[in-house]
């Protein structure tokens, strides 16, 4: 780092003759000539002293015009088949997941996990009064609308409700 500071001072003309000789000797021995060139380039750039040969711009423009134009297709088309393949795979996976849940829902019994079948004594059926039926049907309709078990069943729970409400009107 000390050598870098000394090179900078040498470029800026801030060293006396004794230090100039010592820094030049160290530059020749230490291989720090790249740093010397870099510091000169930085100084020329800061002072806006471009070291371009006369006619550089004209020669550069001619060479650029002589370059062949490359007409390459956009890269998006090359990437598009991979995108379509991933989209199709994701769609198939989504259909599989939805189908899996649907099949499981149809095959699973509508009992709770700890429900057990027990023998039931026969009881005589008693006909309910029509006023009680209306209250019970209204309760069932509200319960089915808010029940979390109907989230994946779609329209199926409402079919019976609609058919039952049609009987009440008769």
Residue 137 class from Cβ within 10 Å (0-12 exposed, 13-18 middle, 19+ buried)?
Answer: middle
Q: What percent of the chain has pLDDT over 70?
A: 61
- Whether 150 is covered by a domain: the verdict is yes
Q: How far is CA 35 from the centre of its chain?
A: 44
pTM assigned to the model? 0.25
- Whether 80 is covered by a domain: the verdict is no
- Whether 34 is covered by a domain: the verdict is yes
d(CA 83, CA 76): 10
In the prediction, which pLDDT does 62 show? 92
**Which of the listed ranges 7-21, 37-51, 144-158 does the model predict with the highest average pLDDT?**
7-21
- Whether 85 is covered by a domain: the verdict is no
Domain count, the chain: 2
d(CA 158, CA 164): 10
In the prediction, which pLDDT does 13 show? 84
Residue 110 class from Cβ within 10 Å (0-12 exposed, 13-18 middle, 19+ buried)?
Answer: exposed
Q: What sign does the CA torsion over 51, 53, 54, 57 have?
A: negative
- With vertex at residue 111, the alpha carbon angle to CA 107 and CA 112, rounded to the nearest 5 degrees, is 120
Q: How far is CA 13 from the centre of its chain?
A: 56
- Whether 6 is covered by a domain: the verdict is yes
pLDDT at 40 over 90: no
In the prediction, which pLDDT does 88 show? 92
- Tell me the residue range of the domain where 9 lies: 2-51
pLDDT tens track for 131-165: 665 667 777 777 766 666 645 566 665 565 555 55
- Whether 110 is covered by a domain: the verdict is no
């Amino acid at each position: 780092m000390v050598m870098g500071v000394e090179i900078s001072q040498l470029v800026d003309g801030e060293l006396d003759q004794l230090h100039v000789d010592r820094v030049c000797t160290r530059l020749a021995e230490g291989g720090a000539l790249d740093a010397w060139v870099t510091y000169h380039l930085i100084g020329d750039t800061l002072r806006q002293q471009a070291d371009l040969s006369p006619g550089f711009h004209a020669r550069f423009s001619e060479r650029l015009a002589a370059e062949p134009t490359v007409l390459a297709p956009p890269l998006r088309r090359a990437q598009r088949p991979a995108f379509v393949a991933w989209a199709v795979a994701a769609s198939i996976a989504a259909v599989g997941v939805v189908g899996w849940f649907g099949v499981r829902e149809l095959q699973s019994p509508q009992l709770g996990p700890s429900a057990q079948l027990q023998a039931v004594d026969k009881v005589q059926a008693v006909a309910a009064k029509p006023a009680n039926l209306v209250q019970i049907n209204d309760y069932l309709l509200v319960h089915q609308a808010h029940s979390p078990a109907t989230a994946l069943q779609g329209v199926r729970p409402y079919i019976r409700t609609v058919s039952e409400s049609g009987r009440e009107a008769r």
